[in-house]
Structure 1
Amino acid sequence: MNIGVETEKIEFKKTTGELREGITSLASMLNKNGYGVLYFGVKDNGEVVGQQIGDRTLREISQSIANFIKPQVIPTIEHELVDDKNVIKIEVRGSEKPYSAYGRYYMRSADEDRELSPTALKELMDRQSSSDILTLIPSPVQALTFNKLKIAYVTAGLTVEQATFEDNTGLKNGDGKYNMMAFLLADENDISIKVVTFAGKDKMDLIKRNEYGGTSLVTAIDKVLDYMESINETKVTMGNHRRTEEKLFDMPSFKEAWQNACIHTKWDKGNPPAVYIFSDRIEIISTGGLPVDLNKEEFYKGISKPVNSKLQKIFGQLGYVEQTGHGVPIIINNYGKQAFDIMDNYINVTIPFNYEKKSIIGIDVDNEISINEAEQRVINYISKNSSITIRELVAISGYSDGYIRKMLKSLKEKNVIERRGGNKAGKWIIIMQNRGETL
């Protein structure tokens, strides 16, 4: 049987005795296309002759690829039967060009692997550093729709031309396939966007995990902003006939940090941005560090070097961001440079709370009992349904089973609630009535 011809993305090798040459071809195809397929057990003309496969054959291929292609890639290695003959298929993808094989650099040209000269290598590196990786990497799913993105364009007052929309927004790569940016902006995807809440100042006690992913990044960003706005409570202070109000945190600073994290993260690394809420602060983390041509001082001054230029352009058209870089100075003005923890592979923005977040109920002014927000919510649920079960509290609150039990125990110890009767027929009794919330 004949399975085709060699191309810029496909290479045939008769046996694994040509493993070194095959690995060279993989690196060569990665440098040309970011993708390559290598078959063992197939002649150069596409004729399937079969490959002997031992107990360690596939493992040795995997180890050789890991040892001799740099930067390292994770191959997909499969054993196939073609006309009852063993064939090994190896597939690689990567965006961190240039790739070397055995310390040398190659570029695919038709079905040949040509070693790069120093000049050609430099050109490849320069081109790679200036390219928009999200538009080059193919989407893992090609059956995509973009209704939510189109609605966002219409809402922003822009015209959507159905026939040319995908091309005009850069949702396809040079091969005419949907790219990774399209996957991010599609109506449905498998990208996780989480807001995680912890009980204290560390990650020891997780109490809530909100998931906003699985949908267009435009929608996910908005959902997170809406949620954070909903928890941004106001502290009201009365004194000397004056009333003052203070928000828990500066929402414009969070908005800038969150939008920048989503737009400038290196999505090709596979780690989406996330929000962590602690008892005293918010942390927004994104992947990738600073662009190679931007130092910290330039970053602090608000100089803009977009990591994903076409993605930023789309969000600019939708009115989410500007290219002036004013977001970083806003955060620094409110919280100082120490708000940014800039690492090689991550940027973590910390927004401290302006005051201690708590709720209080009590019998009188001199005998107040502290109740946190989560406990107050549990009390509210119990006041509406004295027969509510722990399972129902978990379902309605979104808190974990362990945290619900911990709160119930705490409230009983504070003599705020008590349980009367058994687990099945018993009821919750609120001993102290809520006099209102003090933040």
Structure 2
Amino acid sequence: MNSEERLKESEILELKKSTAQLKPGIISIVAMLNKNQEGKLYFGIKDDGTVLGQDIGEDTLRNISQSISANIEPRIYPSIRQVSIKGKNCIEIEFRGSDIPYLAYGRAYIRISDEDKLLSRRELEDIILRKNRSQLKWDTAICRDATLEDLSEEKIREFVKAAGKKYTGLENSLKKLKLIEDRKLTNAAVIIFGENPETFFPNAKLRCATFATCDTSYIIDMQEFTGDIFDLIEEAQKYILKNIHIGMKLEGLKRIDVPEINEEAIREAVVNAFCHRDYYEYDSVNVAIFKNRVEIRNKGRLYGGLTIEQIKSEMVSERRNELIAEIFHEIHLIEKWGRGINTILTKEPDTDFREIGNQFIVTFKRKSIEKVGEKVGEKVGEKVGEITKETLTENQKKIIGLILQNPDITTRELAENVGISKRKVEENISKLKKKEVLRRLGPARGGHWEVIEK
């Protein structure tokens, strides 16, 4: 430790002035274990990092060890030693343990930032439930009542081919993928290759919604999808790309579509949601598209004690559904090295990751249409200026700009992108037609818009 540096309390570090604070120190040990399964505690350092030093007698370390042993359940075996910090004697206690929940003086605590919070009975029950679930992984558990007839042999055949392997029959292929045991199918087998997985798992679904504003007050569209995991991943990606701005750039004479949110980042976030979600929870993967952002939500906080800071700074991943993850890896949907988060942040650096309740949420910031592609907004603005000398409202300019990019755009899509109701879009279109700026060619279904140049 640099002589100028000060230790700072965190989720895995607690500082105490002296062993007179041994009891709250033991509570801190339990709180850190319950949150992160590891931590350090120092005696002889104030909570602001000032090193005071600690009187250490013959029995001091032994007394600390005995007090920890007597007051923490289940028992832990920490490293307790005398250390010199800035020339002063201090006591360092380093500890690890995964047999949560731990109790201090008969009560359970959890670490929140640098504070120790007493767990409620409900929170304690949730920890015990999650522990039991982790011991019996959902994806490897047997799906009762499911038989080989409930699977799609075509899906399995196509998967084996995509994985670059030889198809050797339905049951043999399932054995190689560890999806069947004593002719009984695992949950993973059914939710990945089932004809109708929702028959067995009501939460095998995807919910998508598009909102007109930055909150949920006005819904433009809402859809629900069921099916196997691969189908749901595909539907989630399609829904997002359909409901965000698509710009364009030119490579030579070829037009290339450019979504306002990187397509690879979207794919990684969607795949992670289905791979790492807690399937014991009765809920779907949810996609919410707002005027200023896109959220992908799944039940299940980070697994294995990982923190958001760790997944952002380290290429590390803990798998809640190891079997599902292995299937994804077979066809390169995910990498074993936990590079998915790094890919997202490389493609979309402003991506936000949050844990709220038992949900993990990935949020992509939407870009204004002017920023999509290579100066698309600038070119559209110039074109709008060339087209008409009429005075247009801001909403009418946006409508013209969107139509110039996509003449097949629907009034619903216009409403979503402009951020107004479908009725308001229709009113503006009527005014634009009267000004002879816009016309409709062909039928309502199958036709397209044309901006009239003057």
TM-score w.r.t. the length of structure 2 is 0.52
CA distance in 2, matches of 1:290, 1:155: 30
CA distance in 2, matches of 1:406, 1:253: 30
> Does residue 143 of structure 2 align to residue 138 of structure 1?
yes
What SS is found at the alignment partner of 1:135?
Answer: coil
CA distance in 1, matches of 2:256, 2:162: 36
CA distance in 2, matches of 1:406, 1:126: 47
CA distance in 2, matches of 1:399, 1:152: 38
Deviations 1:129-174 (A, max 9, x none): 35422221525754511322331221332222213122222333x6
Partner of 2:287: 275
CA distance in 1, matches of 2:401, 2:216: 17
CA distance in 1, matches of 2:246, 2:130: 51
Which residue type is aligned with residue 320 of structure 1?
L
Alpha carbons of structure 1 residues 336 and 160: separation in structure 2 relative to 1, 3 Å: same
Alpha carbons of structure 1 residues 139 and 206: separation in structure 2 relative to 1, 3 Å: farther
Alpha carbons of structure 1 residues 214 and 134: separation in structure 2 relative to 1, 3 Å: same
> Does residue 314 of structure 2 align to residue 307 of structure 1?
no
> Does residue 192 of structure 2 align to residue 165 of structure 1?
no
> Does residue 388 of structure 2 align to residue 364 of structure 1?
yes
Partner of 2:158: 151
Q: Is the 8 A contact 1:256 1:327 kept in 2?
A: yes
Alpha carbons of structure 1 residues 381 and 333: separation in structure 2 relative to 1, 3 Å: closer
How far has the Cα of 1:324 moved from its partner? 1.0
> Does residue 299 of structure 2 align to residue 287 of structure 1?
yes
CA distance in 1, matches of 2:248, 2:156: 39
> Does residue 175 of structure 2 align to residue 189 of structure 1?
no
Residue among 411, 416, 419 paired with 2:432: 416
CA distance in 1, matches of 2:235, 2:162: 16
Partner of 2:201: none
Q: Is the 8 A contact 2:207 2:223 kept in 1?
A: yes
Q: Is the 8 A contact 1:342 1:348 kept in 2?
A: yes
Alpha carbons of structure 1 residues 245 and 259: separation in structure 2 relative to 1, 3 Å: closer
Which residue type is aligned with residue 411 of structure 1?
E
Q: Is the 8 A contact 1:132 1:310 kept in 2?
A: no
What SS is found at the alignment partner of 1:294?
Answer: coil
TM-score w.r.t. the length of structure 1 is 0.53
Deviations 1:269-308 (A, max 9, x none): 1212121111222111111101133233322223111110
CA distance in 2, matches of 1:234, 1:130: 45
Q: How many pairs align? A: 284
CA distance in 2, matches of 1:150, 1:283: 34
CA distance in 2, matches of 1:244, 1:351: 22
What SS is found at the alignment partner of 2:184?
Answer: coil
How far has the Cα of 1:332 moved from its partner? 2.9
Moved more, 149-158 or 315-324: 149-158
What SS is found at the alignment partner of 1:133?
Answer: coil
Which residue type is aligned with residue 314 of structure 1?
I
How far has the Cα of 1:411 moved from its partner? 2.3
Q: Is the 8 A contact 2:161 2:167 kept in 1?
A: yes
Which residue type is aligned with residue 133 of structure 1?
W
Alpha carbons of structure 1 residues 159 and 209: separation in structure 2 relative to 1, 3 Å: farther
Alpha carbons of structure 1 residues 230 and 435: separation in structure 2 relative to 1, 3 Å: farther
Deviations 1:234-279 (A, max 9, x none): 43589xxxx9996411111111111100111011212121211112
Moved more, 254-263 or 138-147: 138-147
Identity of counterpart residues, as a percentage?
18
CA distance in 2, matches of 1:125, 1:225: 30
CA distance in 1, matches of 2:295, 2:248: 25
What SS is found at the alignment partner of 2:185?
Answer: coil
Q: Is the 8 A contact 1:290 1:344 kept in 2?
A: no
Q: Is the 8 A contact 2:179 2:188 kept in 1?
A: yes
Alpha carbons of structure 1 residues 229 and 409: separation in structure 2 relative to 1, 3 Å: closer
Partner of 2:116: none
How is 1:8-19 mapped onto 2 (pairs within 5 angstroms)?
Answer: none
CA distance in 1, matches of 2:275, 2:326: 10
Residue among 203, 206, 209 paired with 2:222: 209
Q: Is the 8 A contact 1:144 1:183 kept in 2?
A: yes
What SS is found at the alignment partner of 2:451?
Answer: coil
How far has the Cα of 1:176 moved from its partner? 4.3
CA distance in 1, matches of 2:151, 2:301: 31
Q: Is the 8 A contact 2:142 2:184 kept in 1?
A: no
Deviations 1:4-30 (A, max 9, x none): xxxxxxxxxxxxxxxxxxxxxxxxxxx
CA distance in 2, matches of 1:159, 1:273: 33
Alpha carbons of structure 1 residues 373 and 201: separation in structure 2 relative to 1, 3 Å: farther
Which residue type is aligned with residue 321 of structure 1?
I
Which residue type is aligned with residue 177 of structure 1?
K
Q: Is the 8 A contact 2:288 2:294 kept in 1?
A: yes
